[in-house]
Amino acid sequence: MKLSIDTAAQTLSVDGKSFPLFSDEAFGVLSDLWVKVGWNQKYSYSFSWLGVPVIQLPEDMIRYQEAIQTLQPDVIIETGVAHGGSAIFSASLCRLLGKGRVVAVDIEIRPHNRQRIESHPLSDLITLIEGSSTAPAIVEQVKGLIKPGEKVLVVLDSDHSYRHVMNELEAYAPLVSEGSWIVATDGLMQDLTDVPRGNADWGADNPAKAARDFAAANPAFSLEPPAWLFNESTLSENITHWPDAWLRRRGVA
What digits encode the pLDDT tens for the residues 162-209?
Answer: 999 999 999 999 999 999 999 999 999 999 999 999 999 999 999 999
Give the residues across from 153 on adjacent strands. 76
> How far apart, in whole angstroms, are the C-alpha atoms of residue 97 and residue 153?
15
Q: Other C-beta atoms within 10 Å of 132: how many?
A: 18
pLDDT band at 251 (very low <50, low <70, confident <90, very high): confident
The residue among 89, 119, 126 whose CA lies nearest residue 104 is 126
Question: Rounded to two decimals, what is the model's pTM?
Answer: 0.96
Share of the chain above pLDDT 90, in %: 98
With 0-12 / 13-18 / 19 or more C-beta atoms within 10 angstroms meaning exposed / middle / buried, residue 51 is exposed
The domains found in the chain, sorted by start residue, are: 1-41 (no CATH), 47-249 (3.40.50.150)
Q: How far apart are CA 102 and CA 58, in angstroms?
A: 20
Mean predicted lDDT score pLDDT of the chain: 97
pLDDT of the residue at 167? 98
Q: How far is CA 196 from CA 8, 193, 203, 241, in A?
A: 32, 9, 15, 17
DSSP letter for 233, please: S
- CA 180, CA 158: separation in Å to the nearest integer? 20
Cα 11 to chain centroid distance, Å, stands at 33
Is 80 exceeded by the pLDDT of residue 252? no
CA 241 – CA 35 distance, rounded (Å): 8
Query: Could you read off the pLDDT of 24-37 as tens digits, one per residue?
Result: 999 999 999 999 99
- H or E segment to which residue 163 belongs: helix 162-172
Position 253 pLDDT exceeds 70: no
Number of residues assigned to the chain: 253
Mean pLDDT calculated for residue range 94-116: 98
